[in-house]
Amino acid sequence: MREIYNALKSCWEEGKRSILATIIKVEGSAYQREGARCLLLESGEVIGMISGGCVEGDLLEHAKDVILSHTPKKVVYDFNGNEDDLWGLGVGCNGVITVWLEPFDPIDQKEKTKQILDEIEARLHCNQPYYFFMCIESSEPDKIEVGQYLSTFHQKQKKNCFNGSMKAGIIETVIEGGKVRGFVELVNPLPSLLIVGAGPDAALLARRAHDLNWRVNVMDHRKQNLTSLFPEVNHLLIKRGNYSSLNLPTNPYIVIMTHNLELDYLALQTFIQCNFCYIGVLGSHQRMRKLVGLLKESLHGIDQDKMAKIHSPIGLDIGAQGPEEITVSIMSELIAVKNGRAGGSLSRLWI
C-alpha cells in the first residue's frame, strides 16, 4: 500500500492521471482477496498486483475508457470452466473476481482525487480500526454518487456488514433514504515492529518489514548506526541500555538483536512488563536460558502468558544460512504470528 500511495502522491504533484483498481468481490479461489489494489498508470506501468499477472494487462485497456469518461467501471473476470483458452495457462485460480476501476485525475477531478489520496494515506497512519465504504450502485445519485466514499458510516450498518472472519465485501443498505450497494472494508492499523539494536542484520530486517508495510522503529544508543543504516524508518535514539525512556507503539512486535547479552537482558527485562504481541530474541537456546535465569532473579514472578510470546531462537525453521535468509526466516515468523498461523507448509496430499 505504501508503494501505491507514493505513486498516487507523485501523480497528484505532477498532474498525471491514473486508475486505482480494487478487488471488491471474490467467488471461489483467487490470487488475492477483496481489498487488494493496484495502480494503473497511463504509461502502462502497473504498481502493485491484484492477480498473478493474469488480468493487469486487460485492466490497462479498460483503464483507457475510465480515464476518458471520468467514470468508475466494474469489470468481472470469470476463470471457471474453460477460461484458460481465453486467458492463457497458469491462471492459478478457478474463481470469479470483480474489480472496481476509479479514475485518479488531479486536473479535471481534483476534489475526488484528493479524497482518494487522503484515504490511502489514512491507511498508512491510522491507530484504530475503521470501516471504509465506497458506493458502487445508488438509487439516489443526487445524494450518494457512484464512486463516493463515506466517512460517516453508521454504527448500526457496521454491525451488519460482515459475519465470521470476513473483513471486506459488498453490502446493500439504505443511506439518506436511498438504496445503495457499496464495497465495505475493515481497515486495521499497520503492525508495528520495534527492532532493538542497530547492526547490519537489523538493517536487513527493517528494510524487509518496511517493504511489507509494517511500521518500523529502531532503538539504539549509536546515532551513527541509526542514521547510516536505517534511512527509511523511524529512529529512537536512547542512552545505552535505557530502554524504558521512550513510549512504545501500541502492542508492538519486538525483535531484540543487540548482540550483547547485558543489553539483551535489559531490553527483555523492560519489555516483558509491557503489552506486546511478540518478542523475539536473536541467539541460541543456551543464550536464552541465561536470559530467563537473569529475569527470574530480578523480577518477582513472570507472567507465563507473556513468556509464551517470547521466541528464541527467532524465525521459522527453514534451514536459513546467512543474514539474508535469516531475515526471511524472522520476517516469516512475524507474519505467521500476526495472522495467527503456525507457519507450516501449505502443501497437502493431492492424490
> What is the CATH number for 309?
3.40.50.720
C-alpha to C-alpha distance for 57 and 63, rounded to whole angstroms: 10
**How far is it, in rounded angstroms, from Cα 169 to Cα 33?**
10
| pLDDT of 247 | 81
Domain count of the fold of the chain: 3
Q: Tell me how many degrees the CA angle 97-32-111 measures, rounded to the nearest 5.
A: 80
268-308, pLDDT tens digit by residue? 999 998 999 999 999 999 999 999 889 888 877 777 888 88
Determine the Cα–Cα distance for residues 159 and 277; give it in Å rounded to an integer. 26
Local confidence band at 140 (pLDDT 50, 70, 90 cut-offs)? confident
Q: Is residue 284 part of a domain?
A: yes
Grid cell listed for 282: 536473536
**Contacts of residue 175, Cβ cutoff 8 Å, sequence gap at least 6:** 143, 144, 150, 157
| pLDDT range class, residue 348, cuts 50, 70, 90 | low
The proportion of the chain whose per-residue pLDDT surpasses 90, expressed as a percent, equals: 68
CB 190 within 8 A of CB 249: no
Last residue of a domain, one of 85, 110, 135: 110
3-state DSSP call for residue 17? coil
pLDDT exceeds cutoff 90 at 98:
yes
pLDDT at residue 243 is higher than 60: yes
Return the number of other C-beta atoms located less than 10 Å from residue 117's C-beta.
Answer: 18
Residues 168, 76: one domain? no
Coil, helix or strand at residue 175: strand
CB 222 within 8 A of CB 198: yes
Q: Which of 50, 76, 110 is the last residue of a domain?
A: 110
- Specify if 347 maps to a domain: no
Do 196 and 183 fall into the same domain? no
The answer on 199 and 177 residing in a single domain is no
184 and 292, same domain (yes or no): no
In a domain, 308, yes or no: yes
Backbone angles phi, psi at 66, to 5 degrees: -65, -40
Q: How many helices (H) and strands (E) does the chain have?
A: 11, 15
CB 197 within 8 A of CB 257: yes
Angle CA 104–141–62, to nearest 5: 35
Claim to verify: residue 211 and residue 321 sit in the same structural domain:
yes
Residue 98 forms part of a structural domain: yes
Distances (CA, A) of 332 to 205, 325, 329: 11, 11, 5
> Who's near 215: CB < 8 A, 6+ residues apart?
190, 191, 192, 193, 234, 249
User: Which residue range is the domain that position 162 belongs to?
Assistant: 126-189
pLDDT band at residue 121 using 50, 70 and 90 as cut-offs: very high
Which amino acid belongs to residue 19?
A: I
pLDDT of res. 161: 55
Is residue 78 located within the same domain as residue 103? yes
First-residue to last-residue Cα distance in the chain: 38
Higher-confidence position of 345 and 22: 22
Q: What is the pLDDT of residues 175-194, one digit of tens each?
A: 888 899 999 999 999 999 99
pTM for this model (two decimals): 0.84
* Cell digits of residue 216: 518500523
Residue 102: pLDDT band by 50, 70, 90 thresholds? very high
pLDDT-wise least confident of 115-119, 150-154, 176-180:
150-154
Distance CA 21, CA 7 (A): 14
Domain membership of residue 207 (yes or no) is yes
Question: In the numeric block, which cell numbers belong to residue 156?
Answer: 448500526
